[in-house]
Structure 1
Amino acid sequence: MPTFLVTMDFSVLYLAVPRLTADLAASGIQQLWIVDIYGLMIAGFLVTMGTIGDRIGRRKLLFIGAATFGIASVAAAFSTSPEMLIASRALLGVAGAAVTPSVLALITGMFTDPQQSRRALAVYLACFMGGATLGPLVGGVLLEYFWWGSVFLVSVPGIALLLAFGRFLLPEQKAPQVGKLDPVSVVLSLAAILPFVYGLKELARNGWEWFPAGALAFGFAVGLVFVQRQRRLEHPLLDLRMFGNRTFSSALTLMFVTAVVGAGTLLLVTQYLQNVAGLTPLAAGLLLLVPNVLMIIGNLATPPVANHIRPAYLITCGLIVAGVGYLVFTLADSTSGPMTIFIAMCVVMLGTAPLAALCNLLAMGAVPPDKAGSGASIVQTAAEFGIGFGIATLATLGTAVYRRNVEDGLGTARPDAADAARESIDRAVAVAGQLPAEQSGDLLAAARDAFTSGMHVVGIVSAVIYVGLAVLAARAFRHVRNSRGDDDTTTDADPLPEAESATPATQSHERSSI
């Protein structure tokens, strides 16, 4: 329930932005912060909250986060100014960062049997995907009958149920021996992640500008200082030894890169459906609902299949299937309509489902029980970073190809219309509506052809990346057995090996434990 509500809050606001902007008289900058501050605070506080959960108890942190989430939701719903709404959304983000790693850590501790653990994590992922998928639809229904604040109140009943019954249903879990929380590490973590994520978002949205580039560089520099401090501490905020574990680091890499590819291509797909295929935002959202549902079905179907087939085979085959789906992007053209991209996204989502269902299990199984909260926060932070990198890289690649190719088709277009078309396909479609029919048709044809070319390039690049990931998965998880074998899939769950001690003895110990 809390996973569903927190992820739904990412997208439930989108359709309400025009109404709340008019009601609160929010400026353009304030509108952007209202939308972005939630995800920014979640990304910034995940590492800190995961470690706090290991220390004070994951159920306790879940309840604190959930109660704060409910209070902040009410405050957001009845905000009387943009500043109040931004502050409420920021508090929602901090609370969400407390909730999400606590849920994943609790699930990992509650289900130790491999088959049960697979099923539990599949349900968790279904709730995660379900919240993100249904957010816009729930928001649209509420806005049809109520004021914009209702999109925040929808989570309050679920939070109340969690607080009322959770203490009877959920066990408390925390690390048996923990040191004191290092405040300097907390500050360094926030000073590294928040500017870094902000810089990524702004560069992806507006292109090269000195301030977000400086924020990105500052966050990276502070991150290096943070890492050096963690190496020296006896009880670090982030135990870097986890990255020396082969299974954990490989699973993390797979999740990060698939988030990069997924976020970058999804942005281009939504633009294609609206600006090239001519669908309304609602129609595009409903069309993309089907691939998301297929991924949820794939997540839930993976655990029983994994009882008979090794994770390496399942994940590798799924990634190859998803790579074929990305190649289908190249079959779409500017006049083919939405069906080709719809089929491609269905194939991609089905192919990615085994990785999504099993990599969480593999990563969390490689983390010692006393580090479960910290491990869960790293897994989810990697996904947040992957989304930012995807928009900043693959989506930017598609835009670059578009800008290069659109020049060839502008011809005798008016200078102001040509300049708008060079910026983005969104601007091209907007300015085309102000031109005479013949000029409008020529401009739209040029912009749509150029954008489709960009999608083709991104589809090919994504397919190549997925083939590389398939090779990585086949090698990294080749010794992990299915749950009906002699061992379970929670490999490398012994005491963590040191990152620098990949000696033959260590490797032999890993093989014997597997």
Structure 2
Amino acid sequence: MAIDSPTAPATSGDSRRAWFGLAVLALPILLVSMDVSVLYLALPTLTHHLHPTAAQSLWILDIYGFLLAGLLITMGNLGDRIGRRLLLLAGAAVFGIGSVIAALSVDPAMLIAARALMGIGGATLLPSSLSLISTMFPDAAQRARAIGIWTAMFAGGTAVGPVIGGVLLQHFWWGSVFLINLPVLAILLVVGPFLLPEHRAERTGSFDVVGVGLSLAGILPTIYAIKHAAVDGPDVTAAVTGIAGLIMLAIFVAHERRTENPLLDLKLLSNKRFGVAIGSSLVGMISLAALSYLSSIYLQTVTGREPFDAALLGMPMAVTVFMFSIGAARITEKLGARRGFITALTASAIGNLMLLGIGVDGGIWAYLAGSAIAGIGYGIAFSLVSDVAVSSVAPERAGAATGISETSFELGDALGLALMGSLAAVVFQRGTAPSGERFAGTLDQVISATSDAPTIAAAKSSFVDGVHVAVGLSGVLLIAMAVVVALVLPANEKQAR
């Protein structure tokens, strides 16, 4: 049972108010996803000023996405109890405070802590906003269009982040990429109480506090082990933390299966359409995060472009992701979910594989064409995920389904940085300078430490090799996921429902 405030646009006669409310919700959603990737272009400049270690650089990028992913389902359940609008506005305030601290950070530890605070705040915005959209648009057709816009803002934010970051870095200091959040959050906090309805569900079940702790205790050590092994090589620390994380994840799954009110309803994954959607979003975001992160470093550090110039070269992918997210409904209406997923994943794979054509002294064409084609696939796939995640389950389970789908987006983004970023780092650090010594640290650190042209050229070549391995593996994973879709979902899609 839901409790709506008197200000809730609960009838079709309030549709104009509902659309204004959607506009208020859409901008913070753009910010949340944008802030996952906004540091891609800012990282070289930030590294020059704060001097983080290689591990700290990865934590600066990763901690936001991991806390976001780890807390999405938790915050969705919390919103049911205290009110979605209340949680949304409280989270926006936390997100804003974290943004200010991040902009004023004087060392890597302070920035990592600020990014963690932003992740906690951001985790309240995604599930609360999508749930409120369902309340604001009782008409099914309007609700579908609203969710499509929400998805476009969410998916497009990751691609737009580096572009906006590049523009800001061209004219301001690196902290400006965080302060840009404040005007948008101010609009939400001022206007939100008047345009957004309150929504609160009455629940008799207890809150799965144990599940929250177990999920975080499993995810964070596992990812730390991956990053530690990438930076320092496989050692006892990586092995112990990795095994501990996997054990905690196994305990989490066992707990969720036997508890009466699970934080994560694992039964949803037995639905074929739902499972395909979650798998597609996870693989898609892993590859998109790796592509965005590595190509940003390539454009600035390898080719020597300014942040603004690198941002302009990222525009084709940003535009295609956003446009095809909005237009995906018409495309998939003709193709169906099965062929829509296969087409989208294949396009994304082709785009990633085209980046094998980039080099130290050329290949920008391969980046422009490949990223644009990949963007078409990502836009279609991510919109399909949101639609299928909701339509594949009964209405009373839609909240849990959207929580899982949002988590898969954010977890995929974080894993893309940790896994693919670490893989590229391993390949880079296996390269050797003309002196025979292997490279240590990041490409930017190697270039800053020497003026020897042959060493710099060798370092850049080694980094490009790492990018090739990462995007090549991404392409293979995307093709594999397309094959899974073809095998799991029958040609007659009605049988998959």
Q: Secondary structure at the match of 2:384?
A: helix
| Cα pair 1:268 1:455 within 8 Å, conserved | yes
What is the root-mean-square deviation in Å for CA atoms of aligned residues? 3.7
1:99 aligned residue (125, 139, 142):
125
Question: Cα deviation per residue 1:55-106 (whole Å; 9 max; x = unaligned)?
Answer: 3333332222123323444455567887666544433221111112222333
- Whether 2:268 is the aligned partner of 1:251: answer no
Equivalent-residue separation in structure 2 for 1:32 and 1:317 (angstroms): 33
2:451 maps to 1:434: yes
- Partner residue of 1:471? 483
Pairwise mapping of residues 58-73 of structure 1 onto structure 2 (< 5 A)? 58-73=84-99
State the partner residue of 2:267.
241
* Distance in 1, Cα, partners of 2:447 & 2:174: 28
> What residue is the counterpart of 1:214 in the other structure?
240
CA distance in 1, matches of 2:403, 2:63: 19
Alignment match of 1:194 (pick from 220, 227, 248): 220
2:324 corresponds to 1:298: yes
SS at match of 1:105: helix
Asked whether the equivalents of residues 265 and 395 of structure 1 are also in contact (C-alpha less than 8 Å), the reply is no
**1:87–1:332 distance in 2 versus 1, CA, 3 Å:** closer
Q: Is the 8 A contact 1:108 1:372 kept in 2?
A: no
Corresponding letter in the other structure for 2:214: L
Q: Within the alignment, does 1:311 sit opposite 2:353 as a pair?
A: no
Structure number with bigger Rg: 1
Matches of 2:191 and 2:134, distance apart in 1: 20
Which deviates more from structure 2 when the two are superposed, residues 285-294 or residues 248-257? 285-294
Instruction: State the 1:301 CA deviation.
Output: 1.6
Which residue in the other structure is 2:438 paired with?
419
Return closer, same or farther for 1:392/1:163 CA change in 2, 3 Å cut-off.
closer
Q: What runs of 5+ residues in structure 2 fail to find an aligned partner?
A: 1-26
Instruction: For residues 28-60 of structure 1, give each alpha carbon's deviation from its aligned partner in whole angstroms, at most 9, with x where no partner exists.
Output: 587776555433432332231122223333333
The residue that corresponds to 2:411 in the other structure is 385
Deviation (angstroms), 1:14:
6.4
Shift of residue 181, structure 1, vs aligned partner? 0.8
Equivalents in 2 of 1:80, 1:457: separation in Å? 35
Structure 1 residue aligned with 2:64, among 20, 31, 38?
38
Aligned pair in 2 of structure 1 residues 204, 292: CA closer, same or farther (>3 Å)?
A: farther
Conserved 8 A contact 1:48-1:237: yes
1:289 alignment partner AA: M
Name the CA distance, whole Å, in 1 between partners of 2:464 and 2:60: 32
Preserved contact between residue 117 and residue 361 of structure 1 (Cα < 8 Å): no
Distance 1:254 1:91, change over 3 A: same
Which is further off, 38-47 or 70-79? 70-79
> Displacement of 1:258 after TM fit?
1.7
Alpha-carbon distance in 2 for matches of 1:355, 1:132: 14
Aligned partners of 2:209, 2:187: CA distance in 1, in Å?
Answer: 33
5+ residue gaps, structure 1, are 482-490, 492-509
- Deviates most, 319-328 or 134-143: 134-143
Cα distance change, pair 274–381 in 1 and its aligned pair in 2 (3 A): same
In the alignment, residue 350 of structure 1 is paired with which amino acid?
A: I
Identify if the C-alpha distance between structure 1 residues 85 and 330 changes in structure 2 by more than 3 Å, giving closer, same or farther: closer
CA contact (8 A) 1:294 1:346 kept: yes
Deviation at 1:355, TM superposition (A): 0.8
Q: Distance in 2 between matches of 1:21 and 1:297?
A: 33
- 2:375 pairs with 349, 372, 381, which one? 349
Matched, 1:5 2:31: yes
1:308 CA displacement = 3.0
Task: Quote how far apart the aligned CAs of 1:322 are.
Answer: 2.6
Seen in structure 2, the aligned counterparts of structure 1 residues 131 and 205 have a Cα distance that, compared at 3 Å, is: farther
Stretch moving more, 125-134 or 40-49: 125-134
Deviation track 1:401-457 (CA, whole Å, cap 9, x = no partner) reads 5666x56xx6xx324xx433x8765566556x522xxxx34x555555555555555
Pairing 1:121–2:147 present? yes
1:293 aligned partner, one-letter code: V
Please say if 1:227 is aligned against 2:248: no
How many residues are treated as equivalent by the alignment?
Answer: 470
1:167-190 Cα deviation digits (max 9, x unpaired) = 443334444544121322222223
**2:480 partner amino acid:** G
Q: Deviations over 1:302-324 (max 9, x none)?
A: 12233333122222122223333
- Are the counterparts in 2 of residues 230 and 239 from structure 1 also a CA contact under 8 Å? yes
Question: What TM-score, normalized by structure 2, do the two folds share?
Answer: 0.79
What are the Cα deviations for residues 361-383 of structure 1, in whole angstroms up to 9, with x where unaligned? 10132344444443333223223
Tell me the secondary structure at the aligned position of residue 94 of structure 2. helix
| Alignment map for 1:330-369 (pairs within 5 Å) | 330-369=356-395
Q: Distance in 2 between matches of 1:424 and 1:82?
A: 15
Letter in structure 1 aligned against 2:438: D
**Structure 1 residues 238 and 210: alpha-carbon distance in aligned structure 2, compared to 1, 3 A threshold:** same
Mapped to 2, the partners of 1:395 and 1:314 lie a distance apart of 29
Structure 1-normalised TM-score? 0.77
Q: Is 1:260 matched up with 2:286?
A: yes
Match of 2:31, SS state, is helix
Q: What amino acid does structure 2 have at the position aligned with 1:165?
A: V
**Between 239-248 and 376-385, the greater mean CA deviation after superposition:** 376-385
Structure 1 residue 468: Cα displacement: 2.4
Report the more deviating stretch, 326-335 or 180-189: 326-335
Contact 2:167 2:311 in 1 (8 A): no
Identity %: 37
Q: CA deviation at 1:358?
A: 0.7
Paired position in structure 2 for 1:50: 76
Aligned-partner residue type, residue 370 of structure 2: A
State the secondary structure of the residue aligned to 2:314: helix
Provide the residue aligned with 2:17 in structure 1: none
1:496 equivalent in structure 2 = none
Between the aligned partners of 2:65 and 2:171, the Cα distance in structure 1 is 27
How many Å apart are 1:255 and its aligned residue?
1.0
Structure-2 change in CA distance of 1:139 and 1:102 (3 Å): same
Mapped to 2, the partners of 1:333 and 1:9 lie a distance apart of 28
Please show how residues 444-483 of structure 1 align to structure 2 within 5 Å.
446-447=458-459, 451-478=463-490
Task: Give SS of 1:419's match.
Answer: coil
Provide the C-alpha distance between the structure 2 equivalents of 1:337 and 1:326, rounded to a whole number of angstroms: 14
CA shift at 1:260, angstroms?
2.3
